[in-house]
Amino acid sequence: MFQGLFFLRFLGIFCIDNHVICKEGQFNFFLSIVYSENQLSWTLPIKPWIFSEYRIMWFKSCKMTFVCFNRMKSYRYPWTRLYSTSGTTVDSSEVKTFLALAHRWWDEQGVYAPLHSMNDLRVPFIRDNLLKTVANHQPGKPLSGMKILDVGCGGGLLTEPLGRLGASVIGIDPVAENIETAQRHKSFDPVLDKRIEYRACALEEIVEETAETFDAVIASEVVEHVTDLETFIQCCWQVLKPGASLFITTINKTQLSYALGIVFAEQIAGIVPKGTHTWEKFVSPEMLESILESNGLSVQTVAGMFYNPFSRYWHWSENTSLNYAAHAVKSGAQEHQVPAESVLKEETEELQATASTNAGVREEVKK
């Protein structure tokens, strides 16, 4: 852990006990610094719209003024086209892992038993939060009329229950064999066959054609497998309608999650196959919330989840050190009406006007 006290006097920045604090006029922020495994980790826990007001920063020291046009990569405006259709968030090595298990999705006593059991928590979690947004709903089909995207749907374990609740669901997965399994299983139910559509593709492949289409996007046990989490979240934002919901369940990045989620669950007990998870890809609730908020998604709920391997049941918990669920809502379009370039141009013109005024004053003083 990196600790200490140092000063960057020429920028007016100082650090005390792992926090960098910058204060100049009305601009205040702090960075958390953690030194671990030969890497410095910086966290900026502020709202993107607050930070954006100060993209142009003045630092004054030793009678000098610096103007810094600061465009931080991780705090972009969410309406900007940020994804690349030529890239992918899919990890090819993980595709091979799930390819080998494609035929086992509907074995409730097999390797996917924890996901079958997780439906007892995640289905009501999704349903109840979505029902908060509607005044009336049909008995027996509470999600009728809603369009939902299930990202990384696998064999359709979560897609089908959402379809039974009345929603129109599109399930996507990069493993074609998973989609074949899901298609085959839903064909046994004529009602689901009409409500559910499956596609073998990655999320970024359908962003353009489905922009602002869905009332909800589900990424359950998915974000710990993607190669680029921020790009993934940006794609989720783009396919959501304004005011729509994003639901995520995933695994926290803690020592406990490594001990139980990797060592015990995979290597000792065999609850999940070896190599299913990579601890480095796990994400903490704080980091996930920071990414969500910086991309126009307001976090509503974060709740811990605990799996009992002996009873094979999931329970809600106040502790998020292992698994957790998150619900975020896409900010309304009215909050993002002013293009970033216009704001930057206005602020630049204002600074130039101020500089011209100061120059005029200096000339008057000389006279």
Binding site, annotated residues: 122, 152, 173, 220-221, 224-225
- Spell out the residues 6+ positions from residue 4 whose beta carbon is closer than 8 angstroms to its own: 15
Which parts are annotated binding residues for S-adenosyl-L-methionine?
122, 152, 173, 220
Residue of 233, 218, 186, 214 lying closest to 118 (CA atoms): 218
Whose tokens are 């919330």? That residue is: 289
SS3 145: coil
Phi/psi at 32 (nearest 5 deg)? -95, 130
Reference 54, options 347, 310, 301, 345; nearest CA is: 347
**Can you tell me the distance from the alpha carbon of 209 to that of 230, in angstroms, rounded to the nearest whole number?**
20
User: 199 — phi, psi (to 5°)?
Assistant: -135, 140
Positions at the binding site for Mg(2+)? 221, 224-225
DSSP secondary structure letters along 88-134:
----HHHHHHHHTTGGGTT-TTSTTHHHHHHHHHHHHHHHHHHHTT-
Separation CA 231–CA 233 (nearest Å): 5
